[in-house]
Amino acid sequence: MIYNILNSIFKIFFSLFIIINCVGCFVVFLLIPEWIQTEDIITPSLIGETHQNAMSIVMKAGLALDNQIEHKTSPIEHKTQKAVYAKGIVMAQSPLSKTKIKRSKLIRIVLSSGAEMNSVPNVVGKDIQAAEKKLQELQFRRGYVTTVYSNQYPKENTVIAQAPLANTVLQRSGAVSLLLSLGARPQVFEMPNLKGMLVNNVRSILESHGFKIQSVDYVLHPEMSQGQIISHQPAMGTLIHVGQQVNLEVSGSHRDQNKRGIFYVIRYDVLIVGDKPKHLEIHIEDELGKRKVVDTYYESSMKIRKPYKISGNARISIYEDGQRVKHQEIK
């Protein structure tokens, strides 16, 4: 009887022992990974590494990469116009480098797919507005602009050459520089001696040959008759081209101030936004005729405060990239 009782108690304790051990093993099995994962690891920097190098660096640190890898287009470096990150190079990571993470956390990376490329269009022979429009359509931008005379392209502001050349593969947003025509190369003459000649005769001769009289100043001269030319600029022997302006100093005393001409200060502010130059022209129309006193490209903002001689009633027109932006009448 006693033996049976002791045997039953022993079985009960033995069963409890087995159950407790099983529960203990189960708890330990669950908690051990958690104990292991409590260790913090500093994430390494992977930016600028290849995918293979990034995997090696992460493994040495006791971490792992996420299998889901994102690919993105690389940004463009402004000065070199090349991709900041070549194709296959790590350009971003999460978490960032020097971040404390658990060993079990995966690191995600973004690989560069390089720069988006496109073929440069041929804009030679187009005017500047059409060339810019074509470049913008293909997501290129205008680079430097240089101007020269060209008999082959006599129309002003026509594209003579471009760099890079047409059909060159270039990353989008890349710059294409242009060489523009100033028109046909003007004919060159040697300035004759006009001293002593009558201004009215000289005016008609010069204008018939394509020259422009910019100003006529009347001053008293003890030896010359009224209307005779005392001096002129450009001086005798100077090489001048068709369309160039000529200034005359003429003997005379019975001329009012407007006939002699006055200096008028043209004031205008050129505002440049971004890296696109502006083509500025200033035209004056008065008793001396029509003339262009400014014709240039500005790559930076500029305050123009320059005197120009006008005669009689005058009209001043200012153009930016072919569009009139200011008109003024002076009486």
pTM: 0.40
Q: Which of 329, 325, 328, 330 is nearest to 280 (CA)?
A: 325
Phi, psi at 272, each rounded to 5°: -105, 125
**Which runs of E-coded beta strand occur in 164-288?**
169-171, 175-181, 188-190, 212-219, 229-233, 239-241, 245-251, 262-270, 278-286
Local confidence band at 288 (pLDDT 50, 70, 90 cut-offs): confident
127: pLDDT strictly greater than 90: yes
For residues 110 and 117, what is the distance between their CA atoms, to the nearest angstrom?
A: 20
Contact 309, 285 (CB under 8 A): no
Which range has highest mean pLDDT (10-14, 124-128, 149-153, 255-259)? 124-128
Q: Which comes out higher in pLDDT, residue 78 or 172?
A: 172
Average pLDDT over residues 237-255: 79
For the chain, list the domains and their CATH numbers.
40-112 (3.30.10.20), 117-181 (3.30.10.20), 187-255 (3.30.10.20), 263-331 (2.60.40.2560)
Average pLDDT over residues 299-322: 85
Mean pLDDT, the chain, integer: 83
How large a percentage of the chain has pLDDT more than 90?
34
Q: Which of 95-104, 163-172, 298-307 comes out lowest in average pLDDT? A: 298-307
Structure confidence by residue, pLDDT tens digits, 231-241:
999 889 888 88
